[in-house]
Amino acid sequence: MSIIPTFEEIPLFQGLSKAELDSLKGCLREKSFQKGEILFSQGQGCERIFFVQSGRVKLYRTASSGKEQTLETLGPGDTCACNPGSRTWFCLTTAEAVTPCKVWLLPRADYVRMVETNSKLAHALTNLFAERLRCFSSLIEDISLKDVKKRLIKFLLDMLAHTPSQAGGEKILSIPFTRQEIAQRIGTSRETVARHLYQLKRQKLIDIKPHQIIIPNKEGLEKLLS
Q: For 146-175, write each residue's pLDDT tens digit.
A: 788 888 998 898 888 877 766 556 688 888
Domain containing 211: what range?
147-225
> Same domain for 47 and 153?
no
Query: Does residue 68 fall inside a structural domain?
Result: yes
Contact 60, 2 (CB under 8 A): no
The band of 57, judged by pLDDT with boundaries at 50, 70 and 90, is: very high
Per-range mean pLDDT, top range of 28-42, 85-99, 139-153: 28-42
Tell me, what CATH number does 219's domain have? 1.10.10.10
CATH number for position 74: 2.60.120.10
Asked, for residue 27, whether it belongs to a domain, the answer is yes
Higher-scoring residue by pLDDT: 103, 3: 103
Final residue belonging to a domain, choices 144, 170, 190: 144
pLDDT at 51: 92
Shared domain check, 180 and 90: no
Burial of 212 (0-12, 13-18, 19+ CB in 10 A): exposed
pLDDT at 37 over 90: yes
1 part of a folded domain: no
Domain closes at, from 144, 170, 188 = 144
On whether both 154 and 140 belong to a single domain, the answer is no
- Burial bucket for residue 176 (CB in 10 Å: 0-12, 13-18, 19+): middle
Q: Does residue 130 or residue 142 have the better pLDDT?
A: 130
Residues 77, 113, single domain; the answer is yes
Give the pLDDT confidence score for residue 174 in this predicted structure.
84
Does residue 157 share a domain with residue 69? no
pLDDT band at 34 (very low <50, low <70, confident <90, very high): very high
Tell which of 118, 144, 170 closes a domain: 144
- Tell whether 12 is covered by a domain: yes
- The answer on pLDDT for 1 being more than 60 is no
Overall number of domains in the chain: 2
- Please indicate, yes or no, if residue 58 is contained in any of the structural domains: yes
Beta pairing, strands 68-74 & 57-62: antiparallel
Whether 89 and 122 map to the same domain: the answer is yes
Q: Give the mean model confidence (pLDDT) for residues 42-69.
A: 85
Residue 97: CB atoms within 10 Å: 21
Going by pLDDT thresholds of 50, 70 and 90, the confidence category of residue 46 is confident
Residues 157 and 181 in one domain: yes
Among the ranges given (80-89, 90-99, 184-193), the one the predictor scored with the smallest mean pLDDT: 80-89
pTM score of the predicted model:
0.67
2 located within any domain: no
23 within a domain of the structure (yes/no): yes
Q: How much is the pLDDT for 195?
A: 93
81 and 191 assigned to the same domain? no
Share of the chain above pLDDT 90, in %: 22
Residue 32 falls within a domain, yes or no?
Answer: yes
Residues 44 and 105 in one domain: yes
pLDDT at 9 over 60: yes
Residue ranges in the chain assigned as alpha helix (H): 18-25, 108-117, 119-145, 148-161, 179-186, 190-202, 218-225
Percentage of residues in the chain having pLDDT higher than 70: 91
Average pLDDT over residues 2-7: 75
Residues 89 and 132 in one domain: yes
> Do residues 19 and 90 both lie within one domain?
yes
Task: Looking at the structure, tell me whether residues 218 and 193 fall in a common domain.
Answer: yes
